[in-house]
Amino acid sequence: MTLRQLPVLDVPRPAVSARPPTAAPASLTEFVTDDLALPRFHVWTLGCQMNKSDSEEMAGALLAAGCAEAASLESAELIVINTCAIREAAEHKVIGRMGALSRLKAGNPALRVVMTGCSVRADNAAALGRRYPAVDLFLRPDEEPELVARLGLASPTGPGSLGRGAPSYQRVGRSLAATAERLPADRAAAVGEGRVARSSLTHAWIPIIYGCDKTCTYCIVPFSRGPERSRPFDDIVEEARALARAGYQDVTLLGQNVNSYGHDLPPEPRFADVRGKRTLGRRLDLDGKPDIAALLRAIDSIGTADGERAIPRLRFITSHPWDLTDPLIAAMAECASVCEHLHLPVQAGDDAVLRRMGRQYTVESYLALVERLRAAIPGISLTTDVIVGFCGETDAHFERTLDLLRTVRYDQVFAAAFSPRPVTPAARLPDDVPLAEKKRRLQALLELQEEIGLERNREWMGRSTEVLVDEVRPQRSHEHDGETRSPAKPGQLRLAGRNRENKLVHLDGAQELVGARVRVRVEHAGPYALVGSLTA
């Protein structure tokens, strides 16, 4: 058997020879086929859920082509790096591995490295080879479905062998971005042919809209992923139905801005009750077009034979405050499967900073939205993203962000220091908050949020909550927040899962509980997690 040599791609490299074939004993030669062993692959995924979902599709395509998954990057013959470019640090993680990858390649000349994800853009194609010298093939996010074909692994008749048509490009700011034009159809084909290697048996992602039409001045995503392209409504509902049939209990609809789902789809009579015009930013006429509220209602209505919700937990991420409409809040409140949790990035607590960020809302309008959400969905847990040290952010501006955290009392905050990104409008503004000051503000914010998170979690003490158990944890993982728990009883394991409010909950129980929804009484609360016991 010979290892199938992958082609040398895109970046010219010295010719290398395949691994020598192993000679078969003469007595067995009639049984030896000329099959070539396909490379074992490893996908290294950085970044957000969108990337994790894309990686499931790439892994599924490679498995469908006959490749096996390698246990580690070091034991793979094909490494796929799915990159994130949101901050410089995410890109440095990959740049920092180039030396190790080059050494692996020196030891195994058959090894091929593919890089994809948000670091690969239409505007930086020329520089990539220099920046990432160990990489053989660069694929933009819109080219990911071509992975198998571009590696020469597609069978003449199988998936991945068909032409996808030429990519299209659109101007975003001063730059050119590839559009996600072909991704909705590629996704439908991958789902239809069972080519999505889902990483969990309980949770699943469904991408519903690709790209981003917003113009947040700090953000690279519109340049990496191009303008918004929604998937057809029925394709999404069909994918949800298939997940329900397969027993998935927690489904998350994905997009950079899921709330603007559908604005680019044609109107249809069945969506006649969807009405709206967006007047902020790019003006949109939404009358008669599918929207996320209709999507939530359609997925919520998928039932089991005994009249239960076929998918008991439905989530969506990420929501931009612009497009969080009252019909969407109503759908969240009325659909029993929609979880009582919303991630609603605020980014900053000062209007001048928000304006410079291009966020198109004020602190006042954001707080009004939070009030409407809390009135419609009592007990909803809210999480957010914050950037500290954005261009021109003064101490007083930053203090107003802390005030906002005190007012909203988020359940969790994902905060990061501003990192200027190439081609974004903010890259042309002075990055005038010194690094030490960014770090100080980040630390101050995290300390405040730790107090708030602890207070919020203590409100759960003594309450019963539904937990979808999804992992077995090592014994030590309960010994957090200064609390040391007694060891699990014989036959019991340290388990963890999430409640509908997306709180991490630790409990002890039997292995069989993994994948089950159980009732847990909360007995201990830390800033980042709850601990409880199974109730009858």
Q: Based on C-alpha coordinates, what's the Rg of the chain?
A: 25
d(CA 353, CA 122): 30
256 belongs to the binding site for ligand SAM (CB under 6 A): yes
CB 82 within 8 A of CB 54: yes
Q: With respect to ligand SF4, which residue has the nearer C-beta, 320 or 441?
A: 320
516 touches which of ligand F3S, ligand SF4, ligand SAM, none (CB within 5 to 8 A by kind)?
A: none
* Residue 360 DSSP SS3: coil
Stretch near ligand SAM under the rule CB under 6 A, chosen from 34-42, 146-154, 216-224, 446-454 = 216-224
| Residue 528 DSSP one-character state | S
E strands, 310-442, where?
Answer: 313-317, 341-343, 381-388, 412-417
Pick from 386, 273, 367, 356: which is nearest to 324 by CA? 367
E strands, 91-207, where?
Answer: 112-117, 137-138, 169-172, 175-178, 203-207
249 touches which of ligand SF4, ligand SAM, ligand F3S, none (CB within 5 to 8 A by kind)?
A: none
Cα angle 389, 394, 395 (rounded to 5 degrees) comes to 95
Choose which of 50, 113, 208, 221 interacts with ligand SF4 (CB under 6 A). 221
86 belongs to the binding site for ligand F3S (CB under 6 A): yes
Q: How far is the CB of 306 from ligand SF4 (least distance, A)?
A: 40
| Residue 338 DSSP one-character state | B
Which phi and psi angles does 514 have, rounded to 5°? -65, 125
118 touches which of ligand SF4, ligand SAM, ligand F3S, none (CB within 5 to 8 A by kind)?
A: ligand F3S
Residues 70-129 that bind ligand SAM (CB under 6 A): 86-87
Which phi and psi angles does 179 have, rounded to 5°? -90, 160
Q: With respect to ligand F3S, which residue has the nearer C-beta, 48 or 376?
A: 48
Stretch near ligand SF4 under the rule CB under 6 A, chosen from 44-52, 189-197, 217-225, 368-376 = 217-225
Stretch near ligand SF4 under the rule CB under 6 A, chosen from 15-23, 199-207, 213-221, 517-525 = 213-221
Helical axes 183-192 vs 233-245, angle rounded to 10°: 30
* Preceding peptide of 318 cis, ω within 30°: yes
- What are residue 69's DSSP bridge partners? 41
Q: With respect to ligand SF4, which residue has the nearer C-beta, 111 or 118?
A: 118
333 belongs to the binding site for ligand SAM (CB under 6 A): no
222 belongs to the binding site for ligand SF4 (CB under 6 A): yes
Residues 21-80 that bind ligand F3S (CB under 6 A): 47-48, 50-51
Distance linking the first and last C-alpha atoms of the chain: 57
Residues making contact with ligand F3S (CB under 6 A): 47-48, 50-51, 84-86, 117-118, 220-221, 224
Residues making contact with ligand SF4 (CB under 6 A): 212, 214, 216, 219, 221-222, 256-257, 320
Residues making contact with ligand SAM (CB under 6 A): 48, 86-87, 218-219, 221, 256-257, 318, 320, 345, 347, 385, 387, 416, 418-419, 421
